[in-house]
Structure 1
Amino acid sequence: MRRFSILIILFAFIFTPVAAQQEAPQTSLNHYIEFLSESSELVIHRFKMLGDYQEDVSRYRKRPDYGLRLPSSGPLEEYYYKKALGGLGVEAAKRKQLNAGLENVWQVLIKLDETCKALETYVRLRDYERDNLKKSDALAAEMQSLFERYAHDKNALYTQIRQIYAGIQNRAATDPYIVTENAMGEVIAAQQRLLEALPYYLDEETKAEWPVALVRQSMLDDEKALATIGNTASQLQYPASDMVGTFKSALVSMQDIKRRALDDHNFAAQQSARHGNAVYLSLVEQFNHDMLEFYKAFVGYSKPGHLLLNYPFFSPVMKAESSEKAAASEGTKPFQDKSFHPLNVKKAAAPASAATIKTLNQYIDWINQSLRQMHLLQMIVRNYQSSAEYYRDPAKAQKRANLSYSHEDFKLPSSEYALLLGASTAIPEPYRKSVTGQAGVLMDVLQEMDGLSIELISYTAEKRYLQDRLKRSDAILDRYLVLFDILDKKKEQLYNDIRRIHESYPNATPQSSWYIAGNAMLKTMDNGHDVMFGMRDYLRGETSKLPETTNLRTDSRQLIADEYKNMKGLQRYGRNNGLCPYTPYEDLGGNAGRFAEKVEQYKPESSGFAAHPYESFYYFYNNELVYQYNNFIELSKAGLLKTVNQPDVFAFRRTAPHKETAPPVKAPEPPVEKPADNVAGVQTNHAEIPVVPQPPARQDAAPLTNGGKPGPEAAAAPIAQAKRDTVYVERVRVDTVYVDRNAQLQNVTRSLDGFAPNNMVLLLDVSSSMNSPYKLPLLKRSIKSLLTLVRPEDMISIVLYSGKARVVLKPTSGSKSAEISRMIDLLQSDGDTDGNEGIKLAYKTANKQYIRAGNNRIVLATDGEFPVSNEVVDMIRENARQDVYLSVFTFGRNEHTGQKLKKLSELGMGSYAHVTDASADLQLILEAQAKKLAGK
């Protein structure tokens, strides 16, 4: 028996090398690739560690009491290195070459690991306090050099691997697996070239050029690749065939990052390396852990018939600090206007292709995005204009804080524009030149707007207003007024031409319910458009009569009456399902009648209101009519065309120069009658508060009002009748706060006209207990009622605390109400409640987006009480003193009798309400009306 065991052992020793030699060459080569990917992960970890450490160093240089920290890196893993060395599938001579390259990479990793550990020891011993970070800088520089050396040696080894792989690959070039491998490889190589060209700076304060043109071209190349990458999937066996689609989705994700990167690369982002660094790391992460992982799965599923080669992860490098200097501004050049002859549109014999319909709708989307950006600038320059007036007198301006200007949220829709030009080849040649030319002029107008804002930034920073008494400022604001009007008129011409091109084609499915219902809705939209423009003319004084609304009222009734005939055969999913076509159809029918009624009942407002009356029509038309119509078109399968929003043409108006008058004599303050100690949960302070002189009311005055909610008649009530407590708030950023609650929901106006900008964080309980008709559906309805009114200056965030607390919607402008609405549609009841962490995350989100003198408010929506820690209680109390309030909404068949949630709302100086079917449409609107603009 013992002799038999010895024979088995000898047999194993003899045949193990033979078995190893039977390993396929591709398998051995993939061991080298696996090592490179794993080692690249280690390098990326060190790369990010150094970036975080450098932030701490920068902070330490400013505040030496801060202290430095550096986590332990742990031991260097040898497993994949030894596994690659042990692969015997490659012939000896070539294996020797590969192992030499492998050893080079391994030695760099060892050196990088030693350098990291030296830095860790240096930080742990706090030696930076003794040498003023001298050794820290030397070690950081050495690590940067090692990142670059690693990337070089890794690429050299991979090149050797590819050469050997090409020599052993014996499949025909037409083999679908080889064709797919090559197609994916071209996409991967293109992404690598872009990553190698993008800079990453260790010092984020570095100001340098970012390769915009390169990213734009890469994005356009991706569009071409997306059109062809999946053509061979049907020739592959499952599950390899399925990986082609997932690889394509990874490319779409890369494309999305590039699009956001281009649009976010505005003037504010260009002032440092933060934007470029963030894009770089996002692309590296997406490339390594999405695209290459899906490719690796394709390779794995292609076995055993096809042995393919993997790709190693990309390893980042750091660029040397830039010494580039920003070019001096030479003023903003006016856009070059062009005239275009009316299109000679001819009826087409055949329906338009899907690509043509898609491109025409891309034009509409781009116009709407341009209008959103224009409206944002209207708000910004309106606020600047009112502030600038107080700096017209240099002597008095010297005594004030510096005048400043910023348009950091303004973003040119450059990515959509680039994609639009690329897709325009789908439009027939006779029309293409005109529509692309018109789009180019609109883009030039937006670029001039951006340039004027950039000029205002340097103008205010250099205090040139003290020398020229706002002369250049006035010229820029006058120019803005012209540009806003030009963009409005030119977008209308472009839309009309796009629509004429669309209508020149016969519809492919004229009998479908999508087409029949869409046409009926378009007729309503056209009449709504006429009413909207009639209201504009009336408020401009160009006509003496309100617009006729008979046709719009008729359309509204007809849409409702013909619903089941028009929508026959279309599936109804329910109002809470974002894919249900009945919801936008029904809403447009009802809203059209409401719009007609709104116009008919219009009466000129009394003087003293900050907002122009057109504003409410602007929001209603875009959110209640255009949004619903475009939502239906997006759901349809009938080749229909969207429509454009309309701008608020009265949002920015030039004001006459402000003439300061002598300050009024301060009258003695009357004694304050002591009210109840607590008004709607707000702790009052009856100490005497010094009066701060305020500038006169203006069209865009900053909000200076309450932490509670005013009634709609508050502005019109005589001052003598307004008895309010004054709440003293310590924080400098907060103005006087007045309490005036309207808990009975009486006479609530469905408008945010005259109310302060909102920074509203919706803290939503979507645990499984919320799955009831009296809970989650009412919550969704309440939020959507507010979305019909929100303005671009309103910011909405959503935090969920079902299971792990998480932000599902970062602060989003009201101009993106459709995006917010889609997020609401996706909410589902599931999981447990983690209220404490949800509240913490909500306050973090609210403070990050804080709006000075705005309505900074967290709305906690839940169906029941939960334990709250002392830490969270203190956080609520402290934030309320800092002008961040907490309101609580409860849901359920019966009103809650518990006192904990009510106590939280009192601590948070907010409201407490039980939401029912009767109050769901108004309750959240009331929270958004919690602060009024000055003078309201």
Structure 2
Amino acid sequence: MKKKSVLPPILMASLSVAMAQEAPVKSLNQYVEFLSNSTQVVANRFEMVRAYQKDVAQYRKNPNSDLRLPSSGPLEEYYFQKSLTATGITAAEKKGLNASTNAVWDLVTRLDETGKMLETHVRLNAYKNDNLKQSELHIAEMQAIFIKFSSEKNAFYKQIQDIYRKYQPYIATDPYLAAEKEMEHVLASQQQLLDSLPYYLHEEGQFEWPAALVQKSLLADEKLLLTFGKMQSKLAYPASAVIPDFKEALSAMQNLKRRALDDHTFAAGQSARHGNEVYLALLKQYNQDLLVTQKSFVNYSQSARKLLYYVAYSPVISTEPSPATSRAISRTAPFEDNPVQTFSTIRSSAPAKPATVQALNGYVEFINESLRQMHLLQLLLRNYQTSAEYYRDPESAKKRANLSYKHEDYKMPVSEYALLKSASTSLPETYRKAVTQQAEVLMNILKEMDGLSIELISYTTQKQYLQDQLKRSDEILDRYAELFAILDHKKEQLYNDLRRIHECYPNATPTASWYIAGNALMKTMDDDREILFGIKDYFQGKKDQIPNTQGLASGAQQLIADEYKNLKGLQRYGRSNGLCPYSPYEDLAANSLRFAEKAGKMKTVSPGSSAHPYESFYYFYNNELVYQYNKFIELSKAGLLKTINQPDLFTFRRGSSQKPAEITPSKKQPDHTRQDQRPEPTAGNVRTEEIPLTKTEKPASANAGQAAQAQHDTVYVERLRVDTVYVDRNAGLQQVTRSLDGFATNNMVLLLDVSSSMNSPLKMPLLKRSIKSLLTLLRKEDQISIVLYSGKARVVLKPTSGSKSAEIARMIDLLQSDGDTDGNEGIKLAYKTTNKNYIRGGNNRIVLATDGEFPVSDEVLQMIGANASQDVYLTVFTFGKNEHTGQKLKKLSQLGQGTYAHVTEASADLQLILEAQAKKQLVK
């Protein structure tokens, strides 16, 4: 005979209480649902006001347009009426709650009526008669109701909570009540943060933004996440499954806060837009994820415990203070340095705790992020330095467009640094003090870099270069060169100390394959690092010989030979699975061999090259070696330490402060004073011919609709060509003249493949280099557009004048390899962009840059052919280690009457210049 299961007395008592309190809690939840649905009404009106305000701003700029407001439907009373029928509470409690219900409903009704009055006012176009005065009064009244509603709603919910606690006293040992309290604490803290953040209806002007409060919330919730859900194991399914969902929702809130802190840059501080975006993002995450998850927990817990819903957050529009006055930009003070605190490590008898390893890897990530931001600045400053030299002569500078500088994409790792300091408490005090001080110095250097860039913005905006002939600009650039070298040195000190600390702890699983393989990979990474440092020393003149790569090659070969021994017992998932440990192991070994081979074939600095040969080593080391190693460490979770990236100190170099020499046409070029003049044929069968550009009433194909919209007049121009229509141009680059004098105005659309496969030293870096080689030659009348077709095709740079080469270069530097290829949509968008900005008699050309073939639809093929007959041509550049053998891309360029070329390190600096010289200037 089976024994009857006997529930513990505490659980039996809890179930009895739960059954008795079902009716009161159910009634209270009806009031909460009324509040949350009323909040949704308020949120909808809030969105209406936001959208309307944007339209009003446009209307004030262009009064010829009309304002529009869609009419809203009747106010839904269902939840209001339902809440009044609650029966599970006492008469006195019901009376008090119903009074609050009616007060809140009156506010909601007033808000709805005011919104409808505004809708009617707009539909009658009455705003045109009073210059929006009545409209502004309606908006002001709605703003006041938003604030009043928020206050009344919070007081009402507090009233509900007080009654709830009478029926449902808190029992700390009850897992459901404990989990409910944890969630309530989180929700209340997020509401408190939202209450402290402003949302301004008018974004213009500089307003203070409470970054310190966001950081305080971030740190507090990061600690809370470590202990949240301690009662999960005592909860029954499915309520238990909600705990990790709630933690994930809170983590998403944390990510928003981190982004908010890091994006709070100097540029973001020039308006209220950044603060508004943060407010809306947190509001959405709170109501649509965090709150929804709490409601799921309440619903899933009903069989064990009747719990209370939490109330939604209602948005408000803050009263706008007087805009902060613009402060004069003062000279940036040198960063505050701290002497490196020496310390001795003591061999620990116990393995490092997971929190300790996590903190050490946090420092590594902080270093890497600092280097990423430094590299971004190097690229920005390199472009600025090139442009600035043309402004050294004040008289010449006055004839040019204004010199400008921006660094809005530079973001200091504020959140990472704050979390790092918080997590470092897991380190022993001696170690913690030493590495924390060093990290602080790195942050101070980044702050000085930020300050110097802000100075440059002010310097160029106020045109101070016209007064001092770039004196202060030179001082700032010189200081940057020093700071880049200092940061490189100090990050190395910090990383070496992190290695020492990590090595003083024994590993918890020294015989595990993850640990054995990780150590083998680390040895190879150290060999890679030694070779990279040797190459850097060689280029800096510290060594007169290229480093010997025999040891690296031998170690990488041994790594391959020991693969199955090192990875014994670890599952192989295959390359398509990101959890497979074999992929990063094998790639690091193979790439190390390639690195050794690459170092053995190292080239010296070429005087005419725009890129330093170290650049390819920089990209290879960080992308092909460090990335693979750190990926393996992340997969292992075996207490191993990541490694750091290395900077390219040759990216930004200070040279002589001389204005670049004016580029003059080669003497070999013919005199283009007469239209019928013909240059002599050169290598590659280069010749010119007259090509009639005929105006077309209809597109040659129904799929080439954009071509029909362009004004293709009947004019005759000289177009430099190879063969009759198409050229396979991979030779004869030595004939290129570095000048656009005498050539037609360019309308060039760069159609770039930035899919993940382009992430290679012989692809993306060469693509960027090829484009930048043209920038210094561009004239004011030339225009460049950029279309990307990784994932969804999109225009990332609208037609931009050649006088804004720094802006174009900045966009090129931001290109990153990611996503899939969608070539068809990219080609369509490129033709649309080209035709929309068509230049009569100009070189209207699309340059497709890719590393591989992709399927092309018949529709797109017809479009290419039709546009080629209307003076819009398609050139194809391919990238990669080996020249492509496929014929599809070559056929595209043939059909588009353009060029086909495989871009290599030798040709990258000249290939795009050839395309900009594809048509001679029309002689009038």
Aligned equivalents of 1:449, 1:357: Cα separation in 2: 30
Aligned equivalents of 2:357, 2:181: Cα separation in 1: 32
CA shift, 1:129, in A, is 2.2
CA shift, 1:859, in A, is 12
Indicate the SS of the match to 1:131: coil
CA shift, 1:909, in A, is 4.6
Structure 1 unmatched ranges of 5 or more? 1-20, 691-707, 738-755, 763-779, 796-810, 814-837
- Counterpart contact for 1:208–1:270, Cα < 8 Å: yes
- Counterpart contact for 1:524–1:556, Cα < 8 Å: yes
What is the match of residue 496 of structure 2? Answer: 496
- Counterpart contact for 2:845–2:875, Cα < 8 Å: no
CA shift, 1:231, in A, is 0.6
TM-score w.r.t. the length of structure 2 is 0.80
- Structure 1 pair 568–485 and aligned structure 2 pair: CA distance change class (3 A): same
What is the match of residue 316 of structure 2? Answer: 317
Larger deviation, residues 43-52 vs 920-929: 920-929
Alignment partner of 1:719 is 2:736: yes
What is the match of residue 746 of structure 1? Answer: none
What is the match of residue 632 of structure 2? Answer: 632
Once superposed, what is the RMSD of the aligned Cα atoms?
A: 4.2
Alignment partner of 1:402 is 2:402: yes
- Among 890, 894, 903, which residue is 2:862 paired with? 903
CA shift, 1:211, in A, is 0.6
Larger deviation, residues 250-259 vs 68-77: 68-77
What is the match of residue 255 of structure 1? Answer: 254
- Counterpart contact for 1:684–1:726, Cα < 8 Å: no
CA shift, 1:709, in A, is 11
What is the match of residue 42 of structure 1? Answer: 41
Aligned equivalents of 1:86, 1:41: Cα separation in 2: 21
- Structure 1 pair 409–290 and aligned structure 2 pair: CA distance change class (3 A): same
Aligned equivalents of 1:105, 1:250: Cα separation in 2: 29
1:596-615 alignment, distance < 5 Å: 596-615=596-615
Aligned equivalents of 1:612, 1:840: Cα separation in 2: 32
Indicate the SS of the match to 1:257: helix
- Counterpart contact for 2:847–2:877, Cα < 8 Å: no
What is the match of residue 200 of structure 2? Answer: 201
Alignment partner of 1:852 is 2:808: yes
Give 2:168's aligned amino acid: Q
- Counterpart contact for 1:857–1:884, Cα < 8 Å: no
What is the match of residue 102 of structure 2? Answer: 103
Aligned equivalents of 1:170, 1:649: Cα separation in 2: 65
TM-score w.r.t. the length of structure 1 is 0.79
Indicate the SS of the match to 2:650: coil
1:686-705 alignment, distance < 5 Å: none
Indicate the SS of the match to 1:297: helix
What is the match of residue 88 of structure 1? Answer: 87
Give 2:793's aligned amino acid: A
- Counterpart contact for 2:793–2:822, Cα < 8 Å: no
Give 1:482's aligned amino acid: E
Indicate the SS of the match to 1:674: strand
- Among 794, 812, 817, which residue is 1:843 paired with? 794
- Structure 1 pair 626–917 and aligned structure 2 pair: CA distance change class (3 A): closer
Indicate the SS of the match to 1:364: helix
What is the match of residue 163 of structure 2? Answer: 164
Indicate the SS of the match to 2:339: coil
Aligned equivalents of 1:119, 1:321: Cα separation in 2: 22
What is the match of residue 302 of structure 1? Answer: 301
Indicate the SS of the match to 2:526: helix
Give 1:321's aligned amino acid: E
- Counterpart contact for 2:758–2:817, Cα < 8 Å: no
CA shift, 1:849, in A, is 12
Alignment partner of 1:550 is 2:550: yes
Aligned equivalents of 2:819, 2:435: Cα separation in 1: 48
Query: Structure 1, residues 793-840: CA drift from partner, whole Å, max 9, x if none?
Result: 799xxxxxxxxxxxxxxx999xxxxxxxxxxxxxxxxxxxxxxxx999
- Counterpart contact for 1:343–1:431, Cα < 8 Å: yes
- Structure 1 pair 618–208 and aligned structure 2 pair: CA distance change class (3 A): same
- Structure 1 pair 573–812 and aligned structure 2 pair: CA distance change class (3 A): farther
1:510-521 alignment, distance < 5 Å: 510-521=510-521
Aligned equivalents of 2:472, 2:834: Cα separation in 1: 46
CA shift, 1:729, in A, is 3.9
- Structure 1 pair 723–24 and aligned structure 2 pair: CA distance change class (3 A): closer
CA shift, 1:719, in A, is 3.2
Aligned equivalents of 1:359, 1:512: Cα separation in 2: 22
Aligned equivalents of 1:725, 1:401: Cα separation in 2: 22
CA shift, 1:287, in A, is 0.5
What is the match of residue 672 of structure 2? Answer: 669
Aligned equivalents of 1:139, 1:330: Cα separation in 2: 43
What is the match of residue 279 of structure 2? Answer: 280
What is the match of residue 775 of structure 2? Answer: none
Aligned equivalents of 1:794, 1:720: Cα separation in 2: 18
- Counterpart contact for 2:766–2:904, Cα < 8 Å: no
- Counterpart contact for 2:847–2:876, Cα < 8 Å: no
Give 2:672's aligned amino acid: E
1:378-527 alignment, distance < 5 Å: 378-527=378-527
What is the match of residue 697 of structure 1? Answer: none
- Counterpart contact for 1:263–1:412, Cα < 8 Å: yes
- Counterpart contact for 1:610–1:935, Cα < 8 Å: no
CA shift, 1:125, in A, is 1.9
- Structure 1 pair 605–474 and aligned structure 2 pair: CA distance change class (3 A): closer
- Structure 1 pair 580–789 and aligned structure 2 pair: CA distance change class (3 A): farther
Aligned equivalents of 2:863, 2:819: Cα separation in 1: 10
Larger deviation, residues 904-913 vs 852-861: 852-861
- Structure 1 pair 889–902 and aligned structure 2 pair: CA distance change class (3 A): farther
What is the match of residue 3 of structure 1? Answer: none
- Counterpart contact for 2:207–2:271, Cα < 8 Å: yes
What is the match of residue 63 of structure 2? Answer: 64
- Counterpart contact for 2:21–2:168, Cα < 8 Å: no
- Counterpart contact for 1:33–1:312, Cα < 8 Å: yes
CA shift, 1:328, in A, is 2.9
CA shift, 1:316, in A, is 0.7
1:12-31 alignment, distance < 5 Å: 24-31=23-30
- Counterpart contact for 2:758–2:851, Cα < 8 Å: no
Aligned equivalents of 2:846, 2:338: Cα separation in 1: 50
Give 2:472's aligned amino acid: R
- Counterpart contact for 2:787–2:829, Cα < 8 Å: no
CA shift, 1:209, in A, is 0.9
What is the match of residue 641 of structure 2? Answer: 641
- Structure 1 pair 649–195 and aligned structure 2 pair: CA distance change class (3 A): same
- Counterpart contact for 1:230–1:244, Cα < 8 Å: yes
CA shift, 1:655, in A, is 2.1
Give 1:852's aligned amino acid: I
1:149-188 alignment, distance < 5 Å: 149-170=148-169, 172-188=171-187
- Counterpart contact for 1:846–1:857, Cα < 8 Å: no
- Structure 1 pair 89–259 and aligned structure 2 pair: CA distance change class (3 A): same
- Counterpart contact for 1:785–1:921, Cα < 8 Å: no
- Counterpart contact for 2:692–2:715, Cα < 8 Å: no
1:215-254 alignment, distance < 5 Å: 215-254=214-253
Indicate the SS of the match to 2:144: helix
Structure 2 unmatched ranges of 5 or more? 1-19, 679-686, 694-703, 720-725, 771-785, 802-806, 890-900, 915-924
Aligned equivalents of 1:129, 1:284: Cα separation in 2: 34
- Counterpart contact for 1:761–1:846, Cα < 8 Å: no
Aligned equivalents of 1:51, 1:794: Cα separation in 2: 43
Aligned equivalents of 2:762, 2:800: Cα separation in 1: 19
